[in-house]
Structure 1
Amino acid sequence: MHDLKLFVAPGTCARVPTIALEEIGVPFETELVRLAAKQQKTPEFLAKNPKGKVPTILIDGKPLTENVAILTWLHRTYPDAKLLPETTDELERVKQIADVAFFSATVHPIVTRIAMPMYFLDGEGAYDRIRPKGAEAMGPVMSMVNERLENGPWWYGENWSVVDGYLFWAWWRITGVGYSADQFPNIRDHAARIIERPSVARAMQREADNIEVLKSEGLYLAPK
């Protein structure tokens, strides 16, 4: 059995591997990284992940970064959890990685422009200028996702996967700062279904507990 420690922060995409680990059902530890205190920039953390980001996972003490890599490793190491659909077709395997990469490399950067526009421009202008541009870019992407969900309740039809966890995080992040859900009913219904999944509920409880820790320390930054 592997010794697993996942470094997380509430609201970040570290939720996705947290959901995956809860779905797998193996013991794992999460460690809160206090972003408001710039703990991710300390020498101790940078020694684990020089990029200064979460998620970072320690596997038997060895770090692995980037959600695409983390989720791929978890899927291959714990195949019985079926984080991605079973297939013997190598092209299909690569397409599954492409689906995870789509959320990591295409959706996620747009999410950041909507949810955290201050990363791109100082002052209130970030919300007036960057966020609308992010919402504009997100429209066709979410339209494509909404259309895909016509084929079933999950990304892969009847089969839940960790890709659904990534979609859930992205949707939660943008609607949490006011992005309209009305024009994408399939994604809205997807979010309502997934929140009832036990693995997701446990992951969200971990986040809620960490939020309370941050509040007690005066380090919680609520989404604006």
Structure 2
Amino acid sequence: MSNITLFAMPGSCSRVSLILLEEAKADYHIQWVNLMNGDHKTAEFKQINPKSKVPALAIAGEVLTENPMIIKYISTQFPKANLLPKVDTGLAEYQQISDLCFCSSTIHPLVTRFCIPTFFAEESCATSVKEKALAALHEGLTWVEQRLADSTWWYGEQWSAMDAYIFWIITRLQRCNFSLSDLPNLAQHTENMLKRDSVIWALEKEKLANQ
């Protein structure tokens, strides 16, 4: 039996960890958590993750939370999968973590504000929240768009965990009618991701969980 369990919800940001585990061909178990039913608020789940969030990664009885650290852990445990580029200096490694934090702390909160503005404001103010999130998203994603102008993936021609995180961001936004008409490189990046085996397998597992 695997000593790795991913607590996840289909469509949520736990998709990033799911893709990485598939990419690494890891032996792991999935425990689906239905946020819409309030599973994350139960006393049972709070014993696993008192932050009441997914993803959470249980490793031999210990639980790791927060996307950048889960991603870093999976990358370190499965070095042959090359989930993050090998680097020569400590500073370069910190830069990789900084990239992941850009997704988690800068873009990710804006995704929620764009898709579910009523989480943050009364209905009368929701439109304003969404509009401000949209403006900030375009600013942040324009940088990503420019970075992808001359390469297939975030780190040039090497696929990485950053590409999985960017993919989740874009596909989550697309479910909320976010347009990529002004972001052709990101649109192509999404198409490229959808052809990758690890992504296909991860999406299939989410699909089965929703049935």
TM-score (structure 2 length as normaliser): 0.96
Partner of 2:171: 172
SS of the counterpart of 1:157?
Answer: coil
CA contact (8 A) 2:2 2:29 kept: no
> 2:108 is matched by which residue type in structure 1?
H
| Aligned length in residues | 211
Name the structure 1 match of 2:7: 7
Q: Distance in 2 between matches of 1:122 and 1:32?
A: 30
Q: Distance in 2 between matches of 1:124 and 1:39?
A: 29
Q: 1:16 to 1:45 in 2, by over 3 A?
A: same
Distance 2:173 2:143 in 1: 16
Gapped runs of 5+ residues in structure 1? 213-224
Deviations 1:78-108 (A, max 9, x none): 1111100011211111101111111011110
Match of 2:135 in 1: 136
Spell out, residue by residue over 1:132-152, the C-alpha distance to the aligned partner (whole angstroms, 9 max, x if none): 111011111111000000130
Aligned to 1:201: 200
Q: Unmatched 5+ residue regions in structure 2?
A: none
Secondary structure of 2:7's match?
A: strand
Query: How large is the Cα RMSD of the aligned pairs?
Result: 1.3
Q: Distance in 1 between matches of 2:174 and 2:27?
A: 32
| Distance of 1:70 and 1:47 partners within structure 2 | 18
How far does the alpha carbon of each residue in 1:158-196 deviate from its partner, in whole angstroms, 9 at most, with x for none? Answer: 000010000000011112211110000000000000011
Q: TM-score, normalised by structure 1?
A: 0.91
Secondary structure of the structure 2 residue equivalent to 1:63: strand
Question: Contact 1:2–1:59 at 8 Å: present in 2 too?
Answer: no
Question: Conserved in 2, the CA contact under 8 Å of 1:113 and 1:134?
Answer: yes
CA shift, 1:122, in A, is 3.4
- Written as runs of structure 1 = structure 2, the 5 A alignment for 1:86-165 is 86-123=86-123, 125-126=125-126, 128-165=127-164
